[in-house]
Structure 1
Amino acid sequence: MVLALKDQYVWDSWYVHDGEKYHGYYLKAPRSIGDPELRHFNVSYGHATSTDLVNWDHLGTCFAPSDDGWDNYTTWTGSVVRGDDGLWHLYYTGTRKNDPQLRQKIGHATSTDLHNWERVGDGLILDLVGPNAPHYEADVSNGEWHDRAMRDPWVMRDPDGDGWLMYFTARVPGVAEANDAGCIGFATSPDGYDWALQPPVFTGGFGQLEVPQVFEKNGIWYCLFCTAAHHFSKEQTALRPLVSGNHYLIGEGPRGPWRIAPGFLDGSLPCSRYAARIVDTDEGMVILGFADHPDGETFGGYIMDPDPVEIVAGGELVVSPQRQAAE
């Protein structure tokens, strides 16, 4: 294990390079809570730095839920980018206490040093409201799904023009099969501050496509995501073995069209690695994710060693079997 804390569960993570070193951010919760499933509701952000994605210097807690705001219950997975204003921008998921639908919304904070973060206003920048809101499942009071999903924002510059793009985990309404209603939500901004909700860029295949990460490599666009075996649609169940882990979409551009890649990138049952990110290094791409149940029984709660990722014929991604065999 490379990013682990003795007294803390560690799970979803994301990374940014400042020109000299990597900054890793991760969700953490005290192991003293006992049941690891309770970690989601006892969460804060940890921060660590590294020059090689293997050896880490831990810098402690850097962000947490607000005292009494819209995000006073949880601050979940996000992403960090450097803006045109020279500031570092954190986009994150927030929820409020005592919300029976566990409605998730997107928040925004900035920093000058990548550790001390200040919310922009009250932090809230995006919700499922406005003219494009009908494209999304905004009400789960009927109990067909466990939460009002809008989380895991991944923000990047718009390669096709000025401004910024955001991708997030969400669901669409009016689909008969709950496990075919997952989508990659989408929003745009001219400056990283003011955001407009857009229709999803991809829908279907799974009940949820968590922790999206969009990137381009060798002229091909990829959208990494993670999902669980019990969230496969009937169609996907017929096409591939049931596993939990990390898979991806292949696209013609940042706005799509997107299709589900064949096979499955990095999965097992029980799940070994989840909520992975692909990081482009000088030596090539590597994948990092947290240890879910690597021994098949016990929750791991740490970030696993990075494994090489290669692009093979047809633009498909594969995790290097040499490194996996050596673990």
Structure 2
Amino acid sequence: MFKLPEAWVWDFWLVDDGEQYHLFFLYASRALRDPHARHYRASIGHAVSHDLVKWERVTDALVRSDAPAFDDLATWTGSVVRHPDGRWFMFYTGARLNEHGANVQSIGYAVSTDLYVWDKAPGPVLSADGVVYEKWAPAPEGNWHDEAFRDPWVFADPDGDGWHMLITARSVAGPDGDPSDRVDRGVVGHAWSADLETWELREPLSEPGTGFGQLEVFQTHGVDGRQVLLFNCLAGDASDRVKATGTEGGVWIASAESPLGPYDIAGAQRIDDPELYVGKFIDDRETGETKFLAFRN
């Protein structure tokens, strides 16, 4: 277990460098008192482990930038991959407030040679376009409480054709293009890169109408010979149809034909512990077993 008595700790992501496991996590001081305020004060911490059980905290990875910047409010969830030249790339969410006080999210990255010291690249490298992916708008046109475009999950193309990024995003319209459905718009956003530095925004890998207003913190992984997609959604962000099942929300697992889909999101099953959120799989280097980690919400 990893716990900081002085701080809230929540979303996280993992990477194995071949000798140690690295845990990157969001945290904020409990001096804020209000747990909801933590989201606007999040920094990215760092801990290491040899066994996925005992963790040692080390120097923080990233903090928010000075204003004005795409990440001058907070730094949020991301992922880490290694470039063929040996550099590590951390993709992360930058949050800022617009002139209306709405939370606008976009994606940037930082680079490291050792996983400890990170240098931010100029950003953002990806943002919602308002054509395929919904941008925030004030009432009465507005559909959602923020501009949801975050949680980049990056992985190498299975056939060697560059890199893919899955993104928590929302469609510009509801199922079948219905503009009146302002909730059921969550999709698996998608972008592609040849070099991890320049990114091309692409069509989503799922359609709206699967029952979720947003699908948070993706991970693709192979478990027991099956490809799956992990995502997260609280009950309050689900459609009326999903709420009617009595679900409390949490970590969801969907079957997939490949890391790039198709995904059976409408048929996703919730992991049976509503206190768990942001689940992640990681393969134990010593035993070969797939381990599941999550934080208690």
Q: What TM-score does the superposition give when structure 1 sets the normalisation length?
A: 0.82
Q: Distance in 1 between matches of 2:18 and 2:229?
A: 24
- The Cα offsets for residues 64-122 of structure 1, whole Å up to 9 and x where unpaired, read as 111122211111000011111210000000022445331110001100110111012x2
What SS does the corresponding residue of 2:4 show, helix, strand or coil? coil
Conservation of the 8 A alpha-carbon contact between 1:246 and 1:275:
yes
Alignment check: 8 A CA contact 2:253 2:268 kept: no
Shift of 1:173: 1.6
Deviation at 1:261, TM superposition (A): 6.7
Matches within 5 A, 1:36-75: 36-68=35-67, 69-75=69-75
Which runs of no fewer than 5 residues in structure 2 stay unpaired? 175-179
Verify: 1:233 aligned to 2:228, yes or no: no
Match of 2:202 in 1: 198
Q: Secondary structure at the match of 1:53?
A: coil
Q: Secondary structure at the match of 1:124?
A: coil
Given that residues 136 and 143 in structure 2 are in contact (C-alpha distance below 8 angstroms), is that contact kept between their aligned partners in structure 1? no
1:279 partner amino acid: I
Amino acid at match of 1:201: L
Q: Which has the higher contact order (CA 8 A, sep 6+)?
A: 1
Q: Are the equivalent residues in 2 in contact too, given 1:82–1:89 (CA < 8 A)? A: yes
Which residue identity lines up with residue 137 of structure 1 in the other structure?
Answer: E
Match of 1:103 in 2: 104
The reply to whether residue 249 of structure 1 matches residue 254 of structure 2 is: yes
Write the distance in 1 (CA, Å) between the matches of 2:213 and 2:250. Answer: 14
Residue 270 of structure 2 aligns with which residue?
265
Residue type of the alignment partner of 2:257: E
Distance 1:186 1:220 in 2: 22
* Structure 1 position 267, deviation (Å): 4.2
From 134, 142, 146, the counterpart of 1:137: 134
Instruction: Say whether the 8 Å CA contact 2:148–2:169 is kept in structure 1.
Output: yes
Aligned residues: 284
In the superposition, the TM-score normalised over structure 2's length comes to 0.90
CA distance, structure 2, for counterparts of residue 249 and residue 266 of structure 1: 11
After superposition, give the CA deviation of every residue in 1:162-185 in whole Å (9 maximum; x if it has no partner).
200000101012213333111110
Task: Identify the residue that residue 13 of structure 1 maps to in structure 2.
Answer: 12
8 Å contact 1:140–1:146 — kept in the other structure? no
- Structure 2 equivalent of residue 115 of structure 1: 116
For the 8 Å contact 1:14–1:24, the answer to whether it is kept is yes
CA shift at 1:263, angstroms? 6.4
Q: Is the 8 A contact 1:177 1:233 kept in 2?
A: no
Q: Residue deviations 1:26-55, cap 9 Å, x none?
A: 000001110111000111111000011110
- One-letter amino acid matched to 1:71: D
Aligned residue runs from structure 1 range 163-312, under 5 A: 163-175=162-174, 176-203=180-207, 204-217=210-223, 219-238=225-244, 240-260=245-265, 262=267, 264-268=269-273, 271-281=274-284, 282-292=287-297
Letter of the 2:187 counterpart: C
Structure 1 pair 10/79, CA: closer, same or farther in 2 (3 Å)? same
Q: Distance in 1 between matches of 2:30 and 2:181?
A: 36
> 1:263 and 1:86 mapped to 2: Cα distance?
36
Letter of the 1:280 partner, please give it. Answer: D
Q: Quick one: distance in 1 between partners of 2:266 and 2:127?
A: 29
Q: Is the 8 A contact 1:244 1:267 kept in 2?
A: no
1:248–1:261 CA contact under 8 A, matched in 2: no
Amino acid at match of 1:253: S
C-alpha displacement at 1:256, in angstroms?
Answer: 1.7
Measured in 2, the distance between the counterparts of 1:40 and 1:277 equals 20
Aligned to 2:177: none
CA contact (8 A) 1:162 1:190 kept: yes
AA of the residue aligned to 2:192: T
